[in-house]
Structure 1
């Protein structure tokens, strides 16, 4: 009886941890990326209950995250923020071309939820970040196949690290998933960049 309870608990935790990722891989944003307009993205974010936090001045994205081989002139990204499952603060940026409103890059960033007091010193739950990172990696592998590049630094880093995985093959979506952290302060942040050249 205990074994059944343990197995059902483990399965529930896995399903709960993967559920929020479904939104990222919905057809409107992932499979049909070529037709995603900033207006469609805005509607999706409103449906999710996100808050519009688009900056008033220009924000760019570095070539290490998005090579921009076609030299698109990107507008200030539409940016949204929401709380994901009471575990993470999720910020999503939609970089688009203003001439046709097509989204060229989506960047997701998961950070620790902040307490009511900005001096809140709650310890970061590094395990939930690892579960989130591994869940995203698994789903990206199922959508894009084997990655082209893997770097794991968290196991050996004495302090700051970046674990990264890139999917750069084929003519479909490209992705770069990485986790930034510190083994001394337990700081963690996950970013996922999805684009198509």
Structure 2
């Protein structure tokens, strides 16, 4: 009986720990609330200091809302990939404008140091595709049925090279959310982008 109880408790703790990696912030708020959210997930949260360029492709409202460098939190891998959570906000009012979650290895590592890692990751499309499916299922549970959804990866040709891509999109009057996977020779990433239209 005691062994069964201990075993059940260990399973519950591992499920809770694994699901903590997938916690996403979906409410427009003050950046201080987001920082408190990350510290609640992990009291020893690892905050990174990086300069991040934000293009209009990634954030179409970049001209309207001039955001600061993001608050970046690194979350250890619970499944296959770690998460880099990036929270962009406007400095005058500290209002959160854009959230970006990247499931990616070595996102801010040195370009030259990543060459060997990329060679290994190039063999692991199935692992990325499974992660994508798992994350997408979790998001559908949270956000509902998507506006559009690639059921499988598409091959995209670009200037003599090709890569695999998947997209799932939730688009409402007030919020835009996109789950995207890029799998190429030098990029292996799943990204969730979420921004508010007002």
Q: Same fold (TM over 0.5)?
A: yes
- Equivalent residue number for residue 62 of structure 1: 55
Q: Distance in 2 between matches of 1:72 and 1:190?
A: 25
- Equivalent residue number for residue 189 of structure 2: 189
Would you say how many aligned residue pairs link Structure 1 and Structure 2? 170
Q: How does 1:98-113 map to 2 (within 5 A)?
A: 98-112=91-105
- Equivalent residue number for residue 127 of structure 1: 126
Q: Is 2:165 the counterpart of 1:165?
A: no
User: Retained in 1: the 8 A contact 2:132–2:181?
Assistant: yes
Match 1:176 to one of 153, 175, 178: 178
Q: How does 1:74-89 map to 2 (within 5 A)?
A: 74-85=67-78, 87-89=80-82
User: Retained in 2: the 8 A contact 1:17–1:132?
Assistant: no
- Over 3 Å counting, the alpha-carbon distance change for 1:85 and 1:22 in structure 2 is closer
- Over 3 Å counting, the alpha-carbon distance change for 1:167 and 1:81 in structure 2 is same
- Over 3 Å counting, the alpha-carbon distance change for 1:98 and 1:71 in structure 2 is same
- SS of 1:133's partner is helix
Q: How does 1:17-56 map to 2 (within 5 A)?
A: 19-20=19-20, 22-24=22-24, 29-30=25-26, 33-35=27-29, 37-47=30-40, 48=42, 49-55=44-50
Q: Is 2:85 the counterpart of 1:92?
A: yes
- Equivalent residue number for residue 149 of structure 1: 148
* Gapped regions of structure 1 (runs ≥ 5): 1-11
* Gapped regions of structure 2 (runs ≥ 5): 1-11, 108-112
Aligned residues: CA RMSD = 3.3
- Equivalent residue number for residue 110 of structure 2: none
User: Retained in 1: the 8 A contact 2:136–2:179?
Assistant: yes
Q: Distance in 2 between matches of 1:157 and 1:70?
A: 29
TM-score normalised over the length of structure 1: 0.69
